[in-house]
Amino acid sequence: MDIGNSSLVTELILVGLTKHLEIQVPLFFLFLGIYIITVAGNLGLVTLIRLTSQLHTPMYYFLFNLSCIDLCYSSVITPKLLVNFVSKRNIISYAECMTQLFFYCFFVKPECYALTVMAYDRYVAICKPLLYKVTMSPQVCSLMAVIVYLGAFIAAWAHTGCMLRLTFCDANTINHYMCDILPLLELSCTSTHINELVVLIIVGFDVAVPGLTVIVSYVFILSSILRISSTEGRSKAFSTCSSHIIVVSVFFGSGAFMYLHPSSVLSMNQKKVSTIFYTILVPMLNPLIYSFRNKEVKVALKKTLSRNISF
């Protein structure tokens, strides 16, 4: 990545989440707690899936990937946010800012498509159970993962490369807690039309295609569930899907709210709040929801803990 572009700015200042000094310390401890839960929860889920052979299925393969993504994703953003709360003047170099932007873009796309593939996995499991082992074979799952990460790498380079071509003259204060695309575009003293077009195309695609896939998958799933004769069977199927629907709704809803509005419609404070949902809260919620609402994970956790206690 060629950091030495035509930018006249060598360092940037992150305003942070809020300018109110009296709530900085409480917010620091709040988000520190969220980050600890995020790291512990995702690391625990990764370890549990890795150690438990009963969880070596396509669904948990993608849940394993999702937890790894969340672990890296939150670590790109949250530590810098915590620094904002305890620093009088939070400076980030231009190179560090572009690096954070790249990795933020790199991890947000796999998050999006991991949730999508998990919806498709539930569709095949419930609607096409006889074809499940063939449709979701290890080779197919690995190919899906490679395509997702390759697409994420290309998209991250597209966003970051377009940002590197801009010139930042005198303004160097980012009204945000991270180096996000839209706040950086506001600082540019050159035309941002190409950047805005790239954002519209990539983000529009990454919301529309996965969103449509999830909706269609769950329409078929709901139709199949309603045809199940036993109440217990319907309840089990709904329970399996409900946790995923919650996470998908929060992630896609907040992401679309942030990026698919004209920049003049939302204030920066509204954008910051929206960003918190899919950059900080969703990575924390994923392991909690998939653990507490998932019988297989709870059973595997009990067995693992009992084996360790017996030793």
Range 87-100 burial, b when 16+ CB lie within 10 A, else e: eeebebebeebbbb
Q: Tokens for 9? A: 């700015």
pLDDT, residue 3, reads 47
Sheet holding 11-14, edge to edge: 91-93, 11-14, 173-174
- Residues of the chain with pLDDT below 70 are 1-8, 233, 236-237, 239-240, 254-269, 292-293, 308-311
pLDDT, residue 118, reads 87
pLDDT, residue 310, reads 55
Q: CA–CA separation, 201 vs 209, rounded Å?
A: 12
pLDDT, residue 240, reads 66
3-state secondary structure of 81: helix
Q: CA–CA separation, 110 vs 302, rounded Å?
A: 30
pLDDT in tens, 115-146: 889 889 888 988 888 899 899 999 999 999 99
